Amino acid sequence: MSLEILILIVILIFSVVIHEVSHGYVANVLGDPTARLQGRLTLNPIKHLDPVGSVIIPALLVITSSPFLFGWAKPVPYNPYNFQKGGKWGEALVAGAGPAVNIFLALFFALLLQVFGTASPEFFELGFAVVYINVMLAIFNMIPIPPLDGSKVLSAILPLGLSMQYEKFRSMLEFNPFLGFGIVILFIILFGNNFAQLIISFSRLLIGM
């Protein structure tokens, strides 16, 4: 495995780890200590790594030169029935925390590139990889396909009647993860390249290219 591939995988791993920790942190703020009590509010990647989603799938995507780079860590557990704050927005706040922190990381590194991007080609490539991967994670996770984060956010903002119908659909896919991930994989197969080009364009826009 080349150094470039290894760096991309490391960036992706830490990006998905921060994504997952943010879910648990917000859940803890809202009153649910599940993630904290299970030792998941840590940036130690060993606590979060999923062998398939954190290593094998990203490595295959990078090795095959796929423009679509994606992965996941073990989901941070939370129990919405423990929430003492947030009301009907509780799950949406927890779900939205992951993409929000990815956007923050993308904006932070985009700003660094705008200020120091000409320091060296290596620094620019590293920074752009961080921006690209985090924009990819944020936008992809906000697609409202269960079990992606966007499904929980959409459920909270829909009118009550539509929300109840959508909840049935979401529950069905979350209790049948192979079906849910099957739809996600189908999306990647059909729209992955176009989606990746959109992310690249948006990432370049952020850094002023």
Q: Active-site residue numbers?
A: 20
- Name the residue with tokens 């921006």: 131
Around Cβ 19, how many Cβ atoms within 10 Å?
A: 25
The residue among 14, 1, 133 whose CA lies nearest residue 69 is 133
- Name the residue with tokens 């490539």: 125
Using an 8 Å Cβ cutoff, are 58 and 70 in contact?
yes
Torsion of CA 125, 9, 137, 134, to 10 degrees: -30
DSSP string over 145-175: -TTSHHHHHHHHHS-HHHHHHHHHHHHHHHH
